[in-house]
Amino acid sequence: MDKMTLNDPQAPLRGTIAVPGDKSISHRAVMFGGMAKGRTTVSGFLPGEDCLRTIECFRLLGADISRTGTDLVIDSPGIDGWQEPADILYTGNSGTTTRLMLGILAGSRVHSVIAGDESIARRPMKRVTGPLQQMGADIRGRKGAQYTPVSVLGGPLRPIDYDMPVASAQVKSAILFAAMRAEGTSVIREKEVSRDHTERMMQNFGMRVQAEEGVITLQGGQELVPVHVDVPGDISSAAFFLAASALVPGSEVVLENVGLNPTRTGMIDVLEAMGTDFGVDVSRSDDSEIRGTVTIRSSSLKATEIGGDLIPRLIDEIPIIALLATQAEGTTVIRDAEELRVKETDRIAAVAEELGKLGADIIPTDDGMIINGPTKLSGAVLDSRGDHRIGMMAAVAALITDGPVELRGPGCIAISYPEFFEHLNNLRGN
């Protein structure tokens, strides 16, 4: 297994970086470009492993996709012109590719089989295959289509009126993709509002979709018109440097072109509640995805409470927020986050155990954790467990430990942030 030793704790971070493209939006740009007939172009694409899997799936379906760095040109025959893939659609570690593709394939005209790595094989798929089957999709898979591999025989679909039992943009998006192909009007009701990139991109590609107070209404059968998509930087990647800068004394970091879609900015609310010294400057809000510059300085932190409808707005940031909480004065409580149990790893267990090895005081609960701070952290051997966000949390923790941290399995960080260590070194003047 790959491993690395992270030395030189306490060196301040100073400088400016542009974080890589947003993972959720990059996936969707390829998906919409692959479904729309004609040429879609994309800039700011994230060439992380997960998004590259999505590209491979669409190549197998017959889209011609060329990539130069972070620019894509997608020429597609459109969903009705796809070829039957000659191989399985392999989604690697990517839950977003797996779940969203199920919704897309259900209403296509091809037969396909989807499978991913051993983490994907453990992740629940019934939350997507269930509603798709209600729409008439022909989907079979392991344990009654609860788990991958899953086979999808695309065909005609019925519209759905669906109350979502979990707040999940992946589930919502899969149903919306299927609803695009259904005859009639579908209605999806969200428990709590989750990231809305799919709805926004539908509008960019010329569709009419209504989204109000958690109720989304979509008329099936609308055409997609290919466009240019400019992907903003990923706030979920920025989160690691926001935290690093807040934690290491003497730091000041400027993060440019960060996506500031309000369904994603829960981390900003938490930085505010914890009393960090930061500023947000919106640079562009004239298109469907707001973006701007975030500046943050090292700060003394206070504990906070996180739960309810804030959770979907920061679900991927909870590991790094937990690290912040270990250095905050008081008790931080995170609740209503049981979804963390079914991410790339069980992130409640992974965060509590890995940060616990450094000396953090974290009590895992069924739906979150209780963190007492501040605690001094010391060096130890940590394991990413193949989860990119646990790997980056460990690397940021190593900035404030007494003594070096050995990180096992840092390679998975390339799933969402291939230049993570390069950016870290630049900010530390190395």
Positions touching ligand S3P (CB under 6 A) are: 24, 96, 168-170, 173, 195, 315-316, 339
Nearest 5 degrees, angle CA 18-CA 20-CA 21? 120
The SS3 assignment for 290 reads: coil
Work out how close the CB of 168 gets to ligand S3P at its nearest, in angstroms, rounded to a whole number.
3
Work out how close the CB of 74 gets to ligand S3P at its nearest, in angstroms, rounded to a whole number.
18
Instruction: Please state the residue numbers annotated as binding site for 3-phosphoshikimate.
Output: 23-24, 28, 168, 170, 316, 343
Nearer to ligand S3P, 9 or 44 (CB): 44
Catalytic residue of the set 196, 316, 383, 387: 316
Instruction: Please state the residue numbers annotated as binding site.
Output: 23-24, 28, 95, 123, 168, 170, 316, 343, 347, 389
Maximum alpha-carbon separation in the chain:
62
Nearer to ligand S3P, 252 or 339 (CB): 339
Work out how close the CB of 117 gets to ligand S3P at its nearest, in angstroms, rounded to a whole number.
16
Residue 269 known to be catalytic: no
Nearer to ligand S3P, 48 or 141 (CB): 48
Q: Which two tokens stand for residue 189?
A: 């009701």
Helices 169-181 & 23-35 angle (0-180, nearest 10)? 10
Work out how close the CB of 340 gets to ligand S3P at its nearest, in angstroms, rounded to a whole number.
9
**Considering only CA atoms, which of 323, 251, 288, 233 is closest in space to residue 18?**
233
The SS3 assignment for 400 reads: coil
Nearer to ligand S3P, 24 or 326 (CB): 24
Work out how close the CB of 212 gets to ligand S3P at its nearest, in angstroms, rounded to a whole number.
20
DSSP code string of 10-58: T---EEEEEPPBPHHHHHHHHHHHHHSEEEEEEES---SHHHHHHHHHH
Cross-strand partners of 152: 112, 139
Instruction: Please state the residue numbers annotated as binding site for phosphoenolpyruvate.
Output: 23, 95, 123, 170, 347, 389
Nearer to ligand S3P, 259 or 373 (CB): 259
User: How far is the C-alpha of 402 from the C-alpha of 22, rounded, in Å?
Assistant: 33
- Alpha-carbon distances of 6 from 241, 260, 279, 386, 404, rounded to whole Å: 16, 31, 29, 18, 6
Q: Which amino acids are annotated catalytic?
A: 316
